[in-house]
Amino acid sequence: MHNITVIGTGYVGLVSGTCFAEMGNRIICCDVNKDKIAMLQNGEIPIYEPGLKELVAKNVAENRLFFTSEVGEAIEDSDIIYIAVGTPMAENGEADMRYVKEVAKTIGKHLNTYKIIVNKSTVPVGTGELVRTIVANNRVNERIHFDIVSNPEFLREGSAIADCMNMDRAVIGATSDKAAKVIAKLHEPLQTKIFITDLQSAEMIKYAANAFLATKISFINAIANLCERVGADVTQVSEGMGMDSRIGGKFLQAGIGYGGSCFPKDTFALAHMADQAGYDFTLLKSVIATNEAQPYVMLKKLQDLFGDYAGRRIAVLGLAFKPNTDDMRCAPSLVIIDELVKKGAVVQAYDPIAIPNARALLPAEVTYCDSVEAAVTDCDVCLILTEWDEIAGMDLASVRKLLKYPFLIDGRNCFSLQEMYEHGFVYHSVGRPAVLTARSESHPVNY
């Protein structure tokens, strides 16, 4: 058993700390945000992640998981310190390192015994050395030694607990063999692959992995846009591609682009890192540009359908950037709904979880509904932006009756073309032929 302090109680810190506790370690999760710590001490979870509330409660009850805002005391009481604070994107695209630097200073000031300091945050190459310098410069006693480790996370929002407890691999970059072995042993209960490397390579692996997955998404979206122009079906194309063992089928689902806290931030940070190193990473810049343009594909389909959609009542189903999370960071819905409101459309929106977060980010004119049925009632058209189970499994016959016109534009390809034909929808999706079953001169559309 290890005494571990996790600094930062966001997605990464809270999930990682809770899972380490579940593995039998004594964990102190700490944060300078006293309100957040008070919530956690009261059993409230500040983020939405399936299964997390129950797992936190279990480990708190079994005296393995603790929460405090006394960061210094938590550091002194532990032998392993995980840094899991945010590294948001700065205006120039680089990772904002202010929180990591502040934590490093605090660790230095409270370094009372040998400790292993682990970067769990996604940080640029060279951060490990930066943290080592800051900690060393802030030590009260220079005879107290420490080691730095990079142990990047590969958690997906919505399945973070499963990803942590069943991880594909644990990447460990360390400044000493001793530290690498300790962190490797920490991961032994997970029975996962352990990959030990140097500090800089571990930091790069995280960025490279996310950038590659983002590339797959942008590539299939570009293929989808081409499929629409030549009459191919991107779902069949991606399935055929995925059968190639060199490619695989994951992250080849066409849609309206990636969002969230990782891919947008990490691709920009890696591109900025490359620029700073004197390398023009044109491939990655194209990935970013393709993703930024993809939400506008939905708006183009809407314009093709109605021409000027000012005054049109539009149902928007799904606001979060993906299902099973309330995260609105870089969600395509932000771009799409903002444009709809600017062009004079009336928006009725539904999301099963993300509405509280969406209210702070979307235009005040948006009307929020508590069900799919309420959102689509009397609307001219329905847009699907997030493939929640409640949305992908909605009663199509009921939705068709509630809509003013049977028009549905699906940004996540939730339904087969055949079922939409059978239900009588005018159906536009991404990278697939349009279904024009409900075509009628009485419908105000441009075919």
d(CA 341, CA 366): 8
The distance of Cα 306 from the centroid of its chain, to the nearest Å, equals 33
425 in a labelled binding site: no
66 in a labelled binding site: no
Measured between alpha carbons, how far apart are the two ends of the chain, in Å? 67
122 in a labelled binding site: yes
304 in a labelled binding site: no
Look at the alpha carbons of 335, 341, 342, 344 in this order and tell me if their dihedral is positive or negative. Answer: positive
Q: Are 325 and 355 in contact (CB under 8 A)?
A: no
404 in a labelled binding site: no
155 in a labelled binding site: yes
249 in a labelled binding site: no
386 in a labelled binding site: no
Indicate the pairing of strand 146-150 with strand 169-174. antiparallel
DSSP 156: -
87 in a labelled binding site: yes
DSSP 95: B
Q: Are 369 and 382 in contact (CB under 8 A)?
A: no
d(CA 227, CA 212): 22
d(CA 69, CA 39): 12
31 in a labelled binding site: yes
395 in a labelled binding site: no
206 in a labelled binding site: yes
d(CA 199, CA 174): 5
- Catalytic annotation, residues: 262
253 in a labelled binding site: yes
Indicate the pairing of strand 435-436 with strand 426-428. antiparallel
Q: Which residues are annotated as a binding site for NAD(+)?
A: 31, 36, 87, 122, 157, 265, 329
Q: Which residues are annotated as a binding site for substrate?
A: 154-157, 206, 251-255, 259, 322
